[in-house]
Amino acid sequence: MSLPVTETYKFNAPDGVENRLTRYRGGAKGPVMVAHGAAVWSGMFSLPTIQENFTSYLAKSGYDVWLLDWRASIKLPLRQFTLDEAAENDFPAAIRFIKEQTRADSIQAVVHCAGASAFFMTLASGLARDVRCVSCSQIALHYKVPPAMETKCLLHLDAVLKSAGLDYLSSTDNPEHPHFQSLFTDFVNLVHHECTSPVCHRITFLFGHLYRHDKLNAATHDRLSEQFGKCNITAFRHLAQIIRNGSALKYDYGRDGNLKLYGSENPPSYLNPEHLRIPITFVSGELNRTYLPKSTEKTFDWLRTANDPKLYKRHVVPEYGHIDNFMGYRANTDSYPLFLEQLEACPA
Ligand SMILES: [Zn+2]
């Protein structure tokens, strides 16, 4: 399916970091900001290898679609950052930019994985008051991971890699560290057997099982290297800290660093429901083995206790994993409608 007219914009967040927005004018239902996860890019929403991707689906439904490439995007220069920095800078700047361009009073948002996590930090900090509703994929402010992932985090894999001199992890070929990458590839090929793609195996080792193989078509699986890339070690470490804690908190700089920056020995929590009194739909894949469905269930239950429970909805998509909610060849019938339903319920 051909997409409507596209415009691309570059803009700088307040701390000078470049972000990008790609616009698909689908109709008059107002702007929707769509945010990707870590070590990927906005291309996960506009895959050329499936019959109807998420961008086409939203555009067809009449929305003005704005795909955000925030600082975690593999299409932007690799940099070290905490999710706090992205939350304070990228999302507020993107919301402002979209509002200015469209002259809309408010926008809607669809957010996924680490992009959802960072966006919810923005929201919880009161920095996204112009967002009137949210469709959230896989995680928000609570994290529950499978035991294997927990073990990696508890063993401080992140710290081990950093001490080996690596400041990023990559699922694609890595010419700067050929020796390490070759050992890494041999290792992950030994432990992951679902297919013969080394890129796919490295993705699984780094992030857990990001998709169910039966939900991706062959064309998408063959071209995974176009969708995945480097994840900087600082963001990875922040995610690991949050996983160990169970819910979102600011980056842990150690006792002295925390005292200096936060005035407390431990980093402050993001669990403040005050600014989350807007309609939110949470969507988890039933078979997500990166972030278990329990993750969104915890945020959903917490919010329903703290605020008006009628504001929140939650869906578990049968037989789906993590990113196949967007990249699956049948996602347009199996999961996209769940994200759309929330947008439709909050017209401009
Ligand atoms: Zn595979």
Entry pTM:
0.91
Give pLDDT, residue 145.
87
Q: Is residue 329 part of a domain?
A: yes
CB hemisphere CA count around 129 (13 angstroms) = 5
Q: How many whole angstroms separate alpha carbon 288 and alpha carbon 148?
A: 13
Q: Is the pLDDT confidence value at 149 over 70?
A: no
Give 33 or 196, the one with higher predicted confidence: 33
Ligand 1 centroid from CA 38, angstroms: 19
Ligand 1 centroid from CA 185, angstroms: 14
Ligand 1 centroid from CA 73, angstroms: 22
Sorting pLDDT into bands at 50, 70 and 90, what band is 289? confident
Ligand 1 centroid from CA 193, angstroms: 8
- Name the percent of the chain lying above pLDDT 70: 85
Four-residue CA torsion sign, 288, 291, 297, 299: negative
Give pLDDT, residue 176.
60
Ligand 1 centroid from CA 196, angstroms: 7
pLDDT tens-place string over residues 46-102: 999 999 999 999 999 999 999 999 999 999 999 999 999 999 999 999 999 999 999
Give pLDDT, residue 231.
78
Q: How many whole angstroms separate alpha carbon 334 and alpha carbon 311?
A: 23
Ligand 1 centroid from CA 41, angstroms: 19
pLDDT tens-place string over residues 16-33: 999 999 999 999 999 999
Q: Is the pLDDT confidence value at 186 over 70?
A: no
**Region 155-174: what's the mean pLDDT?**
60
Ligand 1 centroid from CA 213, angstroms: 6
Ligand 1 centroid from CA 194, angstroms: 6
Give pLDDT, residue 208.
73
Q: Which of 89-93, 216-220, 286-290 has the lowest mean pLDDT?
A: 286-290
Q: Is residue 1 part of a domain?
A: no
Which residues lie near ion ligand 1 (Cβ < 5 Å)? 195, 197, 200
Q: Is residue 237 part of a domain?
A: yes
Q: Is residue 285 part of a domain?
A: yes
Q: Is residue 25 part of a domain?
A: yes
By residue range, what is the domain housing residue 131? 6-344
The CATH code of the domain that includes 117 is 3.40.50.1820
Ligand 1 centroid from CA 211, angstroms: 9
Q: Is residue 182 part of a domain?
A: yes
Ligand 1 centroid from CA 224, angstroms: 9
Ligand 1 centroid from CA 221, angstroms: 6
Sorting pLDDT into bands at 50, 70 and 90, what band is 217? very high
Q: Which of 68-82, 150-164, 200-214, 252-266 has the lowest mean pLDDT?
A: 150-164
Ligand 1 centroid from CA 250, angstroms: 34
Q: How many whole angstroms separate alpha carbon 67 and alpha carbon 107?
A: 13
Ligand 1 centroid from CA 216, angstroms: 9
Ligand 1 centroid from CA 192, angstroms: 9
Ligand 1 centroid from CA 197, angstroms: 6
Ligand 1 centroid from CA 338, angstroms: 26
Ligand 1 centroid from CA 325, angstroms: 16
Ligand 1 centroid from CA 135, angstroms: 28
Ligand 1 centroid from CA 200, angstroms: 5
Q: 74-90 in b/e burial notation, b at 16+ Cβ within 10 A?
A: bebebeebbbbbbbbbb
Total domain count, the chain:
1
Sorting pLDDT into bands at 50, 70 and 90, what band is 200? confident
Ligand 1 centroid from CA 110, angstroms: 26
Average pLDDT, the chain: 89
Give pLDDT, residue 230.
78
Give pLDDT, residue 147.
78
Give pLDDT, residue 209.
77
Q: Is residue 103 part of a domain?
A: yes
Ligand 1 centroid from CA 327, angstroms: 13
Q: Is residue 190 part of a domain?
A: yes
Sorting pLDDT into bands at 50, 70 and 90, what band is 240? confident
Sorting pLDDT into bands at 50, 70 and 90, what band is 317? very high
The answer to whether 99 and 129 are in contact (CB under 8 A) is no
Give pLDDT, residue 159.
60
Using CB atoms within 10 Å of the CB of residue 101, give its burial: 0 to 12 exposed, 13 to 18 middle, 19+ buried.
middle
